[in-house]
Amino acid sequence: MSAARPLVSKTESPPHPDRHRIGLVLSGGGARGFAHIGLLRVLERHGVEVDVVAGTSMGAIVGALYAHGYRADDLQELAASVSWRDVIDLSLQAGLLKGEKLRQLLATYLPETFDELAKPLAVTCTDLENGEELTFTSGDLITAVRASACFPGAFEPIEHEGRTLADGGICNNLPVDALALMRAEITIASDVTAMRRAGFVHPDADRASWWSRMVATVTLERRTPLATVTLRSTDIMMRLLTDTRYVHHPADLRVQHDLPEVRLESFWDLDAIVAKGETNAEAAFRAEPALLRKLQSSTGAPGAGRPLPDPDTDASDETGRDANARGARLAASATRSTATRAKRRRG
């Protein structure tokens, strides 16, 4: 575990006057985090290659997969293949779920350590005993990501190196400052933190029985009245804390995904959330053409300096990618991770 040690990019380019180290931070937000995939697709479309990544909670999961080499289409296909049965293991103790199935899922697609990633990654967690924010940049990757995604009440916290770890969003849901540890020079923040203002349906409007509401909550189909009030209150507190911290640690570009209709657990709306994230990111970059050109110059993208494409008329570079090829990459990555773990166990 490392709280402050900066990393050197594993794919660092030779010094160049136009070359800047690009950092991307992905916030937490549950299912809203699928919007990060849309932003990644926009970066790919414009030829922008990120050097270092930071994330918390759902942003840590997406960020880790991206740092491991998954592209936007791969991530969307992977997310579509996951069922609630793949992550739900009831606990009803320190959390609704144990989180062991989540760990197993992460271990299927990610390597064991940070050092095996293609890009440097920072993952933030919260120490529940002293309230300290922790930033992991090395060591056990699966444990760090699993801890970062321990949303209070949903997943049990985990014990690691004498600490009790939980969701990084408790302290810092948009850890822009983590990119400074990794020497990022241009920073992009994808923020899916819930908006302060949103519609609220009073729990009394739901006439179903308590038990049916509880079962539906476990299967992510609806919320109990208690969950409705608790999660909406958490949304408000997290938004206020995120905005306050952002004043002190701003990014060069903040893409705020206004998703009032998307709840923390709306995982069934994958495609719509990704599409919304793509639209938001495209609009944000079109509003900052000079920054986009700077990002493209830093990457050495062929489109640097050219006018921005019109998303309504120009087809994405990713259109028509072979779905079978994407599936083959996912399977190959999972096979490599499994083979590596098996080799270590034999050793």
DSSP 185-231: SEEEEEE-PPPSS-----GGG--S-HHHHHHHHHTTS---HHHHHHH
pLDDT over 70 (residue 225): no
pLDDT of residue 93: 79
pLDDT of residue 330: 56
pLDDT over 80 (residue 46): yes
pTM metric for this prediction = 0.79
pLDDT over 70 (residue 239): yes
pLDDT of residue 88: 77
pLDDT of residue 222: 59
Higher pLDDT, 132 or 233: 132
Per-residue pLDDT of 195-214, as tens digits, reads 766 555 555 555 556 555 55
Q: Distance (Å, rounded) from C-alpha 136 to C-alpha 342?
A: 25
Q: Which of 12-26, 296-310, 320-334 has the lowest mean pLDDT?
A: 320-334
Higher pLDDT, 8 or 35: 35
Close Cβ partners of 158 (under 8 Å, ≥ 6 residues apart): 99, 143, 146, 147, 150, 164, 165, 166
What does the pLDDT average to over 284-312? 74
pLDDT over 80 (residue 161): yes
- Report the amino acid identity of residue 115: D
Which residue carries 């050219």 as its tokens? 306
pLDDT over 50 (residue 7): no
pLDDT of residue 16: 53
The Cα diameter of the chain in Å comes to: 65
Q: Calculate the CA 290 to chain-centre distance.
A: 26
What percentage of the chain exceeds 70 in pLDDT? 71
pLDDT over 80 (residue 61): yes
Q: Which of 7-11, 101-105, 151-155, 280-284 has the lowest mean pLDDT?
A: 7-11
pLDDT over 70 (residue 339): no
> What torsion, rounded to 10 degrees, do the Cα atoms 323, 326, 332, 336 define?
-150
What does the pLDDT average to over 21-50? 96
Q: Are 132 and 71 in contact (CB under 8 A)?
A: no
Phi-psi region of 193 (alpha: psi -120 to 50; beta: other; left: phi over 0): beta
Q: Distance (Å, rounded) from C-alpha 292 to C-alpha 197?
A: 30
Which residue carries 């993952």 as its tokens? 123
26: nearest Cα among 187, 238, 182, 260: 187
Classify strands 52-56 and 121-127 as parallel, antiparallel or unpaired: parallel
Of 57, 148, 190, 337, which is the active-site residue? Answer: 57
Higher pLDDT, 137 or 96: 137
What percentage of the chain exceeds 90 in pLDDT? 54
pLDDT of residue 291: 96
Active site residue 190: no
Active site residue 317: no
Of 51, 167, 191, 252, which is the active-site residue? Answer: 167
Average pLDDT over the chain reads 80
What does the pLDDT average to over 159-183? 94
User: Between the CA of residue 337 and those of 68, 277, 334, what are the distances in Å?
Assistant: 11, 29, 5
173: nearest Cα among 259, 244, 75, 272: 244
Which of the four pLDDT bands, split at 50, 70 and 90, describes residue 90?
Answer: confident
Q: Which of 159-163, 176-180, 303-307 has the lowest mean pLDDT?
A: 303-307
